[in-house]
């Protein structure tokens, strides 16, 4: 019985170490992504492109809802945004009568280094490339 308890304790310790390593990697990726977003914001401001009131698109429709976020869209479909303080937002939201009347509150999330990871082929894109494309669109 002692060896079974020892094995369980080793497994528990290994799982905890693996979880801690995953959290460290995620924190490092988030920090790198925040640096990219900050540089993007500085460049948008340097080009004189003012932040705007962002709207949240309803998934699967052409409807959008008001938000309290002032910033820039990162994708043409307006599904991602960044506010003037560098907070990252996934803007897509479900349909709601309350949101239609009063707007929707979208909470910031940790920015990824690869946007759309796990999505269909061709939908994932390194954040750095997405920001560069957005800056090129702003030029034209």
User: Cα(15)–Cα(40) distance, rounded to whole angstroms?
Assistant: 37
Q: What b/e sequence results for 44-74 when a residue is b if at least 16 CB atoms lie within 10 Å of its CB, and e otherwise?
A: beeeeeebeebbbbbeeeeebbebebebbbb
Identify whether the C-beta of residue 29 lies closer than 8 Å to the C-beta of residue 36: no
For the stretch 61-103, pLDDT in tens is 889 999 999 999 999 889 999 999 999 999 999 998 898 899 9
Helices 127-139 + 2-46 axis angle, to 10: 10
Give φ, ψ of 111 to 5 degrees. -75, 140
For the stretch 14-51, pLDDT in tens is 888 888 888 899 999 999 999 999 999 999 999 999 99
Which pTM does this prediction carry? Answer: 0.82
């Amino acid at each position: 019985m002692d060896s079974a308890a020892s094995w369980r304790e080793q497994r528990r310790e290994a799982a905890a170490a693996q979880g801690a390593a995953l959290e460290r990697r995620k924190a490092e990726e988030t920090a790198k992504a925040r640096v990219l977003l900050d540089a993007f914001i500085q460049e948008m401001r340097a080009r004189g492109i003012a932040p705007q009131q962002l709207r949240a698109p309803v998934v699967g429709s052409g409807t959008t809802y008001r938000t309290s976020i002032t910033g820039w869209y990162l994708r043409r479909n307006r599904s991602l945004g960044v506010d003037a303080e560098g907070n990252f937002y996934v803007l897509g939201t479900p349909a709601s009568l309350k949101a239609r009347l009063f707007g929707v509150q979208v909470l910031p999330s940790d920015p990824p280094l690869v946007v759309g990871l796990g999505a269909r082929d061709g939908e994932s894109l390194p954040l750095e490339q997405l920001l560069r494309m957005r800056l090129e669109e702003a030029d034209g």
